[in-house]
Structure 1
Amino acid sequence: MTLFVALAGLLGMLALGFHIAVTMGLVSSALVLSMPSVPVTVIAQTAFQSINSYPLMAIPMFILMGNVMTRGNIVGVLIELIGSIVRCIRGGLAITVMLSCIFFAAVSGSSVGSAAAIGSATIEGLKREKYPVKFSAALVAVGSTLGLMIPPSLGFILIGSIVGIPVDKLFIAGIVPGLMEATMLLLTTIFVVRKNGYGEVASKADLKGFVRSTPKAAGAITMPVLVLGSIYLGIFTPTEVSAVAAGYAIVLCVFVYQTLKWKDIWSISKDSLLQATMIFAVVLGGSLIGFILARMGATAQLIGFMERLDMEPWQFLLLANAVLLVLGMFLDGVAMIVLTAPLLFPMATHLGIDPIHFAVIMVANVEIATLTPPIGLNLFVMSGIAKIPVESVAKGVMPYYLTRVAALGLITFVPAISLILLK
């Protein structure tokens, strides 16, 4: 009964517009106060322990790196390079945008950040080539979700810190699923533009332009190599490489491309700090919820319930995906992970499901959540940039949504996709 009242209070506060972090903090604190056997000091102790985490320290630096490269217009450099080759085919600009999403995903770590950066740089160009605005906005909204799967991924950092899985292994596990998703989205883009005859076609590939653009784009292209290569080779931990990558991004944008000045770095740093603080606040509130659930034996009760049902692993995975897809309609990715990871991972492990594989499944669900009304953040970002209703962006996303669900099915039931690089 107590949990039911708490859940009703949680949903009621969210409906009234309270921030998810504030909501979780207030509800969990009220639950602690209602338990006489639990001292009030537990609230402060649990909150501090939840953010006193070495892996979590990578989040502010990766956010800073992504914001620097967003404000530094790295997207324009990538589009110039890729477009010089693929603009000669039908839908070349749309394909260029999707490929740019893939590259930018490997340096940003954020879906919303990627959407804002790529959308601002490409929407007007897509309009000039007669692409429907609805399709253009959907294209960027969907492509930007790859920033959650292709490392560095803030989602993997959160899961690793909450569940206790090495973040470097999660990063490596996300590479193949991310590339598979990128390929499926690219093929969907080619199908849609050719079916509808979208876009203009250049007479031939601009090989001279490609050669001319390559040195300029080399700095941006080497960023994924720096991040993933140093982690894969064991040179840096994810936390260490986040600081190195942020410093590299600043050098690149201030000295090489000269698209930013030092005064810009100060304002970007303040914005990045606010974004990181928001994520930490959600983690803090979620940790209190997790503590209460553990104290009340919720996880053990759920595992016992599964044993009584004699649930098979594939049945649990179907159920977990259904729950996450529904939650994705009402919660952002950070809140989804913080609220569900402490409950779902013990159950998955109990059934013999590899926790790294399950982490990739969870991130794939978060990707879909960013595209799912009414809360899908990418839909709102692209609605603002393209200046069209959110409903129009959602309709444009529909062909890609089916592709996303198909990719989720493959990731869920073919564990080798996530684990092959860890063998």
Structure 2
Amino acid sequence: MIAIVVVLLLALLAVGMHVGVAMGLSAIVILWLEGLPLQAVAQNAFRSVNSYALVAVPFFILAGELMMRGRIAEVLVDLIGAVVRVIRGGLALTVMLGCIFFAAVSGSSVASAAAIGRSSVSILASDGYPKHFSAALVAVGGTLGLMIPPSLSFILIGSMVGLPIDRLFVAGILPGVLEAILLAITSTAIARRRGYGTQLERPDWLAFRRSIGPALPAVLFPILIVGTIYAGIFTPTEVAAVAALYAALLCLVVYRTTTLAGVWQSCKSAARSSAMIYLVVVGGALLAYVLTRIGFADQLITAAKAVNMQPWMFLIAVNLFLLLLGMFVDGISLIVLTAPTLFQMAPQFGVDPIHMAVILTANVEIATLTPPIGLNLFVMSGIARIPVEQVARGVMPFYGIRLVALLLLTFVPWFSLALLR
């Protein structure tokens, strides 16, 4: 039955069927072959999306859509760049810091890349940075939106396996800081070694003071989101709605970069994106139910113990499997396909479920950069108007750093658990 599931799922994906539909149809076929009641389809489909936590998804997506229409990236680059550009490669570092900011407000890798990429690529090009490096820089920086809270990845994992989302958000802080530091150092080092861009002789404090006023409403954005969650004022779902409202106010009132018609277009786009995510969640829940009924995870645990698999061997096997699967499915599908089984197996090998959530999220980040499916590559290819192959080549130096970060997060649980003790 497991072989039938795998073959059928791969065949449906190969003919171009949406991954959520492919998983759901595979599950229904196995239910029928096993003689299980088909009423389980409706019951599990409803139960999988009947989650208060998942209500946050469309609101965070809407906030990301609205930020793409605002001048937020420009005002942040002006503010940070006035000081940071005193070093060679300072503009690259400025853009990476901007990516960190958007990661702290959007919760989405693609939204972060798209929001800052639209203006950053042209700004970098005017300072002598080649397009393939500029696109790669934003594509890699955008992945931080999956680790730095608030994170759609953690919301999805928490709702699927029953982990508290606020604790997952806390667990993502130090890993996000680690990844941000590594990427900031790498982007600056590459720019300096290759001679990209110019540098200021001294900080432009006048420009900095002029930029503070316009940038202040944007700078308050991550404080509003993260601060209210950790202060216990809002739940993650409530703060998602507040974030969408605040983003709309920035675009309509503060920066006046869009109209009500533009907000309506953002709402429609967010609704379509949310519907696709929910479809994947429904299909994945059905497939997880079927795999549980036929004892897939139990068989894997039995086989692993039969060969005396150690915890470190289990973690290496998980990472290799996730990296391979990430080449063929998008990040949401990667979570939905693997989370039910991984979180059933992890405690058997002494791996904390929250630590496993961080490991899974780090792999999803890498999947968004991995050809041929990597979504951030295609987003930045469209924004920079260059072939996706050029973006992928620009990402390669960063890819090694992402793997280093993955190893650190996998084998040093302190990064994931320190703030929870």
TM-score (norm 2): 0.98
Distance 2:75 2:259 in 1: 18
Write the mapping of 1:48-197 to structure 2, written as runs, cut at 5 A: 48-197=46-195
- 2:407 is the alignment partner of 1:413: no
Distance 2:263 2:108 in 1: 19
Q: What value does the CA root-mean-square deviation take over the aligned residues?
A: 1.1
User: Which of residues 235, 238, 241 is equivalent to 1:240?
Assistant: 238
Q: Return 85-94 or 372-381, whichever deviates more.
A: 85-94
Residue 320 of structure 1 corresponds to 318
Distance 1:177 1:104 in 2: 16
Return the letter of the residue paired with 1:15: A
- 2:373 is the alignment partner of 1:375: yes
Write the mapping of 1:192-211 to structure 2, written as runs, cut at 5 A: 192-211=190-209
Instruction: Note the alpha carbon deviations across 1:300-347, whole angstroms, 9 max, x for none.
Output: 111111221222111111110000000110010000000000011111
Q: Return 272-281 or 388-397, whichever deviates more.
A: 388-397
Distance 1:128 1:58 in 2: 38
Residue 298 of structure 2 corresponds to 300
TM-score (norm 1): 0.97
Residue 16 of structure 1 corresponds to 15
Q: Secondary structure at the match of 2:34?
A: coil
Shift of 1:203: 3.0
Residue pair 2:110, 2:376 contacting (<8 A) in 1 also: yes
Shift of 1:291: 0.3
Shift of 1:133: 1.6
Return the letter of the residue paired with 2:6: L
Q: Secondary structure at the match of 1:83?
A: helix
Q: Return 286-295 or 310-319, whichever deviates more.
A: 310-319
Q: Secondary structure at the match of 1:34?
A: helix
Residue pair 1:97, 1:122 contacting (<8 A) in 2 also: yes
Residue pair 2:158, 2:168 contacting (<8 A) in 1 also: yes
Distance 2:68 2:388 in 1: 23
Distance 1:235 1:120 in 2: 33
Q: Secondary structure at the match of 2:286?
A: helix
Query: Any unmatched runs of 5+ in structure 2?
Result: none
Residue pair 1:145, 1:370 contacting (<8 A) in 2 also: yes
Residue 29 of structure 1 corresponds to 28
Shift of 1:88: 2.3
Shift of 1:418: 1.0
Distance 1:151 1:420 in 2: 16
Shift of 1:6: 2.3
Query: Any unmatched runs of 5+ in structure 1?
Result: none
Q: Return 27-36 or 144-153, whichever deviates more.
A: 27-36
Q: Return 297-306 or 143-152, whichever deviates more.
A: 297-306
Q: Secondary structure at the match of 2:142?
A: helix
Shift of 1:180: 0.8
Residue pair 2:64, 2:115 contacting (<8 A) in 1 also: no
Residue pair 1:253, 1:259 contacting (<8 A) in 2 also: yes
User: Which of residues 216, 222, 233 is equivalent to 1:218?
Assistant: 216
Q: Which runs of 4+ in 1 moved over 4 A?
A: none
Residue pair 2:103, 2:142 contacting (<8 A) in 1 also: yes
Residue pair 1:73, 1:117 contacting (<8 A) in 2 also: no
Give aligned pairs, total.
Answer: 421
